[in-house]
A and B are shown apart, each in its own frame.
Chain A
Amino acid sequence: MGERDKDSLRPLVAELGAKFLERTRGEAVVLRELLERAHLGGPTVMDQLEHLAHRIHGTGATFGFAAVSECGAEIERLVEGLKARDVSADAAIEPQCLQRLMQCTQRLAQEVEAAAAR
């Protein structure tokens, strides 16, 4: 692989990364809306939260947005923990955990803005 190949790939990766940040900005809003409904419990909300967080975690890391990725990872871990305890099946999320998820989502939105400004 020559340096010229890498040079031609870099701007394309950067362009895709910018699009990822733009989409993640919208998804942070979706996450917050899902969490506002999450106090009702339910497997669909949990699955949607997990799917979005997993995507942000994995894709963010691939584009080199470590802080954005870590926020996604934290949300994913929290949701996985709730699912493992089967909270989603028949009970609402306890307020403490919900608050933690909200904080992570807020931090995600901030990290997206910080990454976009760089």
Chain B
Amino acid sequence: MLMDTTELRSILYVDDEPDIRQIVQLALGLTAGLTVHTGESGEQALALARELQPDLLLLDVMMPGLDGPGTLQRLRADSAIAHIPVIFMTAKAMAREIALFRKMGAVGVIAKPFDPMQLGKQVLSLWKDHAAELLTHG
């Protein structure tokens, strides 16, 4: 998978819940200095990813219609956006689910509910781990 390992600048966050979209946008913007775009469905995630080419896609797992895993599958099948790393956000973040999501190709999983004050740190940490992994294994 190709990725710009230098710096994380822009994120596309997709969740069907408007309150959570707002809080994530504020948290990542204010505490991590990121440009955060948002979408409300898996279908919109794919369209916005093509248009915006974000550094990272942060995806809610449980969404009506096309859910997080389904969106990831479609993303990987589209050569224009297949390279974008994905982090899942889910209330079901037990070890078994995390392993399954990683196997699907997610670079990380963030448990819900999350602490808005800590979210930026969590995202940056997963990004750093993924960049290091790419440097080690290519």
Contacts and interface: CB of A to CB of B under 8 A. Distances in A.
Interface of A: 1, 5-6, 8-10, 12-13, 16, 19-20, 51, 54-55, 57-59, 61-63, 69
Shortest 9 CB-CB contacts between residues of A and residues of B: A61-B113, A62-B113, A1-B31, A5-B31, A9-B30, A59-B19, A12-B26, A5-B30, A13-B116
Contacts of B32: 1
9 contacts: A9-B26, A9-B27, A12-B26, A13-B23, A13-B26, A13-B27, A51-B64, A58-B112, A61-B112
A59 B23 CA distance: 10
A58 B17 contact: yes
Given A16-B19, A59-B19, A8 B112 contact: no
Interface in B102-119: 112-114, 116-117
A9 B113 contact: no
Interface residues of B, number: 20
Question: Secondary structure at chain B's binding surface: helix, strand, loop or mixed?
Answer: helix
A62 B116 contact: yes
Contacts of B9: none
Contacts of A54: 62
Contacts of A61: 112-113
Contact of A58 (B20, B64, B116, B117): B20
Contacts of A57: 91
A1 B120 contact: yes
Interface centre among A8, A19, A54, A62 (most CB of B within 10 A): A62
Contacts of A13: 23, 26-27, 116
Nearest to A5: B31
B24 to A, nearest CB: 9
A69 B109 CA distance: 22
B5 interface: no
A16 B26 CA distance: 11
A20 B120 contact: no
Nearest to A73: B91
Given A9-B116, A16-B23, A61-B113, A55 B17 contact: yes
